[in-house]
Amino acid sequence: MGEETAPAVFVAADIVILTIRRGDFEVLLVRRGKPPFKGELALPGGFLEPGETVDQAAGRELREETALWAKDARLEQVGVYSDPDRDPRQRVVSVAYAAMVPDPPEAAAGGDAADTQWISVERALNEPLAFDHRRILTDAVEHARRQLEYTTAATAFCREEFTVAELRRVYEIVWQTKLDPGNFHRKVTRIEGFLEPTGETTTRDGGRPAGLYRAGTRRWLQLPLSRPDRS
Amino acid sequence: MGEETAPAVFVAADIVILTIRRGDFEVLLVRRGKPPFKGELALPGGFLEPGETVDQAAGRELREETALWAKDARLEQVGVYSDPDRDPRQRVVSVAYAAMVPDPPEAAAGGDAADTQWISVERALNEPLAFDHRRILTDAVEHARRQLEYTTAATAFCREEFTVAELRRVYEIVWQTKLDPGNFHRKVTRIEGFLEPTGETTTRDGGRPAGLYRAGTRRWLQLPLSRPDRS
DNA sequence: ACAAAAGTGTTAGTACTACACCCATGA
DNA sequence: TCATGGGTGTAGTACTAACACTTTTGT
């Protein structure tokens, strides 16, 4: 490794906290109270503190914002953003995370609730966002869409016990597509380790009672759930 | 973002440069000439310099080691490694990259060739490596294996013009498995945008002349090339 | 009884596997 | 002519898509 010309920089973790609320794909943003970008929307995030890893910093930020522990969400690295001018104050290298969390993030927003808000992903992408956070949001959303295809991450958007139809709605909302209920049911229940039946049923969605499931232990799908009409 | 307790840290890019040589899956390692870990094998890497992004730092390191430009390789972020004690000297946060490069990295090793060497991935994982580089290597190899499944990255291991059989050998070596030549040929030639026929043929592998192809423009596979016997 | 949602049956199409077989070259 | 690897044919199996249809509740 080289040595002396290297400047020390600040490292931050920025989190794209995604959820499904009111049939909508939403992200948690904070309104900045001080410069730079004062008054604009930004992703929650914070600097790396002494003695912690970046993953731990992300988990800490997630918990401060949503009162959720990292293990209850699906918290994954999306990428590193290091343009020299991305922060006008000083050099900041940011590690971006995508957090997929269930709907009512128990206690919707943590300490400084006043300036945090859930907002539709689609709308957020049309707002001005602070720093390079629009790019980060774009990448994290694409990351999440792919995760649904190749992994069991969709269960992270559901409450602890959920029906197959609720899981299907996650796919439909994140992918913005319609899926055949019958075929979807067959497919996900046949994949071993994806869903664990609880034996209970619920009628909370109306109609015939639906079986309840918990997330299984499998994380990767060998055959992906194909997303219609890819390019 | 928080502010004052955050310490500035050093940021480095470490590169896992992978290739196929002599029918073997190999990685480029450097023998460290000074402490810490003096005399041990390590991944090439270097600190972030002023005014460059981490991606650019990785590209620069790749070029210093292999005389290859980033655009000629497939250079992708694998993850961020930030254990507080991973470097005994000071706090270093490292961004790990996987570089997939064709066999004879034209001018095998750049400036300080004496202490760089290609070594079998399997053997490298059984050597003591400096820092947390064994973990990084493990993750990068898994990353590469998955990339072969879901993307067209395998072409990055081939020279500019290659046969279907040469491409198949990439899969076989990286996945450590045998693939049916006929079925593989049909599958990859049918995927639009994966391979572009040049119209030429070659007999460099013996037998009947084989058609030559160039890498196409597609990067993701809609239906993955399934890796046999996943868990 | 009716509406609504869950879940199953069915059929046609498509993709994958295994393996036989033919093709085009160098020696 | 033979060996070698390239590439195609084919049959059986498995998965998928589309959609009809049955099941089980609430009202």
Q: What is the 3-state secondary structure (H, E, C) of chain B?
A: CCCCCCCCEEEEEEEEEEEEECCEEEEEEEECCCCCCCCCEECCEEECCCCCCHHHHHHHHHHHHHCCCHHHCEEEEEEEECCCCCCCCCCEEEEEEEEECCCCCCCCCCCCHHHEEEEEHHHHCCCCECCCHHHHHHHHHHHHHHHHHHECHHHHHCCCCECHHHHHHHHHHHHCCCCCHHHHHHHHHHCCCCEEEEEEEECCCCCCCEEEEEECCCCECCCCCCCCCCC
Q: Any idea what the Cα angle at residue B164 is, between residues B161 and B166, rounded to 5°? A: 75
- Looking up tokens 């559901």 gives A158
pLDDT greater than 50 at residue A230: no
pLDDT of residue B136: 98
Chain A contact set for B226 (CB, 8 A): 222-223
Strand D nucleotides within 7 Å of a protein CB: 3-9, 15-21, 23-26
Residue of least CA–C1' distance to C4: A207
**Structural domains of chain A, ranges and CATH numbers in brackets:** 10-150 (3.90.79.10), 153-215 (1.10.10.10)
Give the C-alpha separation, A218 to A216, whole Å: 6
Chain B contact set for A6 (CB, 8 A): 10, 47-49
CA distances from B207 to B168, B201, B210 (A): 16, 12, 8
pLDDT of residue A26: 97
The sign of the CA dihedral B3, B6, B12, B13 is negative
pLDDT of residue A1: 45
pLDDT digits (tens, 9 = 90+) for A121-166: 999 999 999 999 999 999 999 999 999 999 999 999 999 999 999 9
Chain A contact set for B220 (CB, 8 A): 230
A52's tokens? 């912690």
Burial category of B31 from C-beta neighbours within 10 Å (exposed 0-12, middle 13-18, buried 19 and up): middle
pLDDT of residue B108: 53
A17's tokens? 């906290």
- Per the omega criterion (within 30 degrees of 0), is the bond before A105 cis? no
Give the C-alpha separation, B222 to B76, whole Å: 20
DSSP A140-190: HHHHHHHHHHHBSGGGGGS-SSB-HHHHHHHHHHHHT----HHHHHHHHHH
DSSP A34: S
- Answer whether any strand C atom is within 7 A of the Cβ of B222: no
pLDDT of residue B229: 62
pLDDT of residue B143: 97
- Answer whether any strand C atom is within 7 A of the Cβ of A38: no
pLDDT of residue B114: 65
Please tell me the least confidently modeled range out of A43-52, A62-71, B6-15, B37-46. A62-71
The full length of chain B comes to 231
CA distances from A56 to A14, B116, B141 (A): 12, 34, 24
Give the C-alpha separation, A142 to A84, whole Å: 24
Task: Answer whether B63's CB lies under 8 Å from B26's CB.
Answer: no
Would an 8 Å CB–CB cutoff place B11 in contact with chain A? Answer: yes
pLDDT of residue B145: 97
Residue A92: alpha-carbon gap to chain centroid: 22
Helix, strand and coil content of chain A, in percent to the nearest 5, comes to 30, 30, 40
Task: Answer whether B53's CB lies under 8 Å from A132's CB.
Answer: no
- pTM, two decimals, is 0.93
Give the C-alpha separation, B20 to B29, whole Å: 15
pLDDT digits (tens, 9 = 90+) for A172-195: 999 999 999 999 999 999 999 999
- Answer whether any strand C atom is within 7 A of the Cβ of B197: no
State the pLDDT confidence band at A114, using cuts at 50, 70 and 90: low
Q: Which residues of chain B have pLDDT under 70?
A: 1-4, 105-114, 229-231
Q: Report the run of H or E that residue A54 belongs to, with start and end.
A: helix A54-66
Mean pLDDT of the A214-224 span? 92
pLDDT of residue B4: 56
- Answer whether any strand D atom is within 7 A of the Cβ of B199: no
pLDDT of residue A229: 63
- Answer whether any strand C atom is within 7 A of the Cβ of B226: yes
Q: How many CB atoms lie within 10 A of CB A145?
A: 15
B15's tokens? 């590169």
Give the C-alpha separation, B40 to B33, whole Å: 8
Chain B contact set for A220 (CB, 8 A): 230
Nearest-Cα residue of chain A relative to residue B218: A231
Burial category of A191 from C-beta neighbours within 10 Å (exposed 0-12, middle 13-18, buried 19 and up): middle
B47 and A82 within 8 Å at the Cβ level: the answer is no
A7 and B50 within 8 Å at the Cβ level: the answer is yes
Tell me the range of A68-77, A218-227, B74-83 where mean pLDDT is highest.
B74-83
Find residues 64-123 of chain A whose CB sits inside 8 Å of chain B: 77, 79-80, 82-84, 91, 93, 95
On average, the pLDDT of chain A sits at: 92
